Amino acid sequence: MADTQNPHAIPHVDGDDTASAFVPVAPFEIVVFGGTGDLARRKLLPALYHRFCDNQIPANSRIVAVSRSEHSREDYLDLIKSNYLDFEQDENFSEKRWAKFCELVDYAGIDVIDGDNWDDLRGKLDPDEKLIRVFYLAMPPRLFGEICAKLKTAGLAHKGSRVVLEKPIGTDFDSAHEINEAVGQVFDEERIYRIDHYLGKETVQNLLVLRFGNVLLEPLWSSSAIEHIEITVAESIGVGGRGSYYDGSGALRDMVQNHLLQLLCLSTMEMPASINADDLRTEKIKVLRALEPVTPDSVEKVTVRGQYVKGMSEDGQPMDDYLSDVGVTSSQAETYVAIQAQIKNWRWAGVPIYLRTGKRMSSRRSEIVIQFKPVPHSIFGKGTPINPNKMVIRLQPDEAVKLWLEIKEPGAGGLRLKTLPLNLSYADNFTVRYPDAYERLLMDVVRGNLSLFMRRDEVEAAWRWVDGIIDAWASVEQPVQYYPAGSEGPKAASDMLAKNGDKWADISPL
Ligand code: BG6
């Protein structure tokens, strides 16, 4: 039964299925390549388990994890169980439910590059070609094309099958194009699901509802009323055990090319004709194509690269620098990036869109700040300042939408204004558990709903803009600016906004 005291508790049933609020998807089989990798163990298997607990996954579905390691099925089940218990705070964990879930799970040890035992995988799949078959490639993107080709040769990629590609798709436009071409040789575009897990977050989907489900915002949503927009994805974690990947990638490729640009698109695109995948994606791509390219002439004015050095956490713990975290003696990889972007269209011309993301910042916070313009004229006199309105869309944590307004402070003795928020907090209004982004996205793949996945031209357009920045950085040899771990990022990022009379919102905890 659901724990009504704890909105994040996972409802479990120990007996037979109880009535569920979730509509079950059709039976399916999913093959997870990279089955022993971090993503599969931390996110994908737990996500499938949670959907199973909500009775959304029919019991005749199957999950086959594939990896090079020579695990038996039992070893693999032990591994995912101990990972689940380590990573998830599941107060209501049920051995019985977990055992039922395990009946769906199988394991195949295949070296996808050199192995010739693809028949082992075939033997674990249903020969019925009408059954939905999902291949999830939680592997380095350079292998995507090759794996797809092998699936084709092995006769496994039948018409009912679809493929999920984890980000990043490539490291630049050329590599992304090459991967898309190779995957496209095997799967039609409508069968390719390019994941950006930010699109699976509740609050990111809420952007669409907030903008297009309310009549109030649209008339104000342009340069006529908006001064600037700020999109921040700040993380308090460092690079963890992903140093070798991260050092070759940096924050621009890891976060901006995908998550931040998706947030930018959803915040600024025109209203799509419908919520259907192609209508939605067509509007997003128009934004990407309208982004002002960053050139060697503008790059130092509109971007800041940063890297953390030793610092202190919020609770006073010393934190290492990036170089020690990664185990290298020198690196110019950016762990922080701030960009002043411009969208060249009628709606947004002249409105700075500030993007910022960083590791080891003072706290974890993702939010979109819509800063409105000041009132054109004040009737209250010079001694009564009026703060411009602001809307803060908090994506995580403490999900909320806050609209800051001016009101009269009650009391005698003159007229004083106060700035207070209308606060639409998720915690105050909803007691449901928020599913992890992967839960929603995995079920959408099975349902065949592409709305929350990136189309090929979208990924390539994002790379074109990002490539411009990477090339410009190389051309002017723009160095990283250092910032202490646990801080709000390099001073240069504040200076960039100060030149326009603007200021970043605080990242420190509320
Ligand atoms: C991933 C990045 O895509 O997103 C990571 O590769 C980052 O570096 C993560 O930490 C952030 O996701 P979330 O959901 O924790 O905000």
Q: Where would I find the H helices in 344-455?
A: 426-429, 437-447
Residue nearest to atom 8 of ligand 1 (CA): 254
Rg (CA), the chain: 24
In CATH terms, 199-498 corresponds, of 3.40.50.170, 3.40.50.1100, 2.40.10.500, 3.30.360.10, to 3.30.360.10
155 CA from centroid of ligand 1 (Å): 35
Write the DSSP assignment of 45-82 as a string of letters: HHHHHHHHHTT-S-TT-EEEEEESS---HHHHHHHHHH
Phi, psi dihedral angles at 108 (to 5 degrees):
-130, 125
154 CA from centroid of ligand 1 (Å): 34
Q: Which atom of ligand 1 is nearest to the CA of 254?
A: 6
Domain ranges of the chain: 28-166, 199-498
From the list 506, 478, 503, the residue with the least C-alpha distance to 493 is 503
235 CA from centroid of ligand 1 (Å): 8
Q: What pLDDT score was predicted for residue 309?
A: 97
pLDDT in tens, the chain (510 residues): 333 333 333 443 333 444 456 789 999 999 999 999 999 999 999 999 999 999 999 999 999 999 998 889 999 999 999 999 998 888 889 999 999 999 999 999 999 988 888 999 999 999 999 999 999 999 999 999 999 999 999 999 998 899 999 999 999 999 999 999 999 999 999 999 999 999 999 999 999 999 999 999 999 999 999 999 999 999 999 998 888 899 999 999 999 999 999 999 999 999 999 999 999 999 999 999 999 999 999 999 999 999 999 999 878 889 999 999 999 999 999 999 999 999 999 999 999 999 999 999 999 999 999 999 999 999 999 889 999 999 999 999 989 999 999 999 999 888 999 999 999 999 999 988 889 999 999 999 999 999 999 999 999 999 999 999 999 999 999 999 999 999 999 999 999 999 999 999 988 654
User: Which residues does 315 contact at the CB level (< 8 Å), separation at least 6?
Assistant: none
Report the 10 Å Cβ neighbour count for 360. Answer: 28
Q: What pLDDT score was predicted for residue 274?
A: 96
Q: Which atom of ligand 1 is nearest to the CA of 246?
A: 8
Residue nearest to atom 6 of ligand 1 (CA): 254
CA angle 98, 100, 104 (to 5 degrees): 105
| CA 271/CA 267 separation, integer angstroms | 10
Tokens of 237: 């974690």
255 CA from centroid of ligand 1 (Å): 7
416 CA from centroid of ligand 1 (Å): 43
Q: Which atom of ligand 1 is nearest to the CA of 242?
A: 8
**CATH no., domain 28-166:** 3.40.50.720
196 CA from centroid of ligand 1 (Å): 10
Specify whether the CB–CB gap between 194 and 454 falls below 8 A: yes
Specify whether the CB–CB gap between 112 and 139 falls below 8 A: yes
| CA 160/CA 154 separation, integer angstroms | 15
Residue nearest to atom 13 of ligand 1 (CA): 198
Q: What pLDDT score was predicted for residue 4?
A: 36
Residue nearest to atom 14 of ligand 1 (CA): 198
Q: Quick check: do 28-166 and 199-498 share a fold?
A: no
Q: What pLDDT score was predicted for residue 13?
A: 38
Specify whether the CB–CB gap between 292 and 342 falls below 8 A: yes
CA angle 137, 170, 178 (to 5 degrees): 95
Specify whether the CB–CB gap between 22 and 55 falls below 8 A: yes
H/E element, 395: strand 390-396
Q: Which atom of ligand 1 is nearest to the CA of 167?
A: 3
Q: What pLDDT score was predicted for residue 70?
A: 86
* Cis ω before 168 (30° cut-off from 0): yes
- Given phi > 0 = left and psi -120 to 50 = alpha, else beta, which region is 89? beta
H/E element, 102: helix 95-102
Q: Which atom of ligand 1 is nearest to the CA of 437?
A: 14
Q: What pLDDT score was predicted for residue 106?
A: 97
Tokens of 157: 């990629």
Strand 353-358 and strand 336-341: the pairing is antiparallel
Tokens of 506: 């605080």
Q: What pLDDT score was predicted for residue 509?
A: 56
Mutate to test the pocket of ligand 1, among 38, 198, 235 (most ligand atoms within 8 A of CB): 235
From the list 258, 196, 167, the residue with the least C-alpha distance to 463 is 258
Tokens of 443: 């079920």
Specify whether the CB–CB gap between 407 and 383 falls below 8 A: no
| CA 45/CA 39 separation, integer angstroms | 9
Q: What pLDDT score was predicted for residue 314?
A: 79
Q: Which residues line ligand 1 (CB under 6 A)?
A: 235, 254
Q: What pLDDT score was predicted for residue 434?
A: 86
Q: What pLDDT score was predicted for residue 21?
A: 66
Residue nearest to atom 7 of ligand 1 (CA): 255
Catalytic residues: 259
Residue nearest to atom 15 of ligand 1 (CA): 235
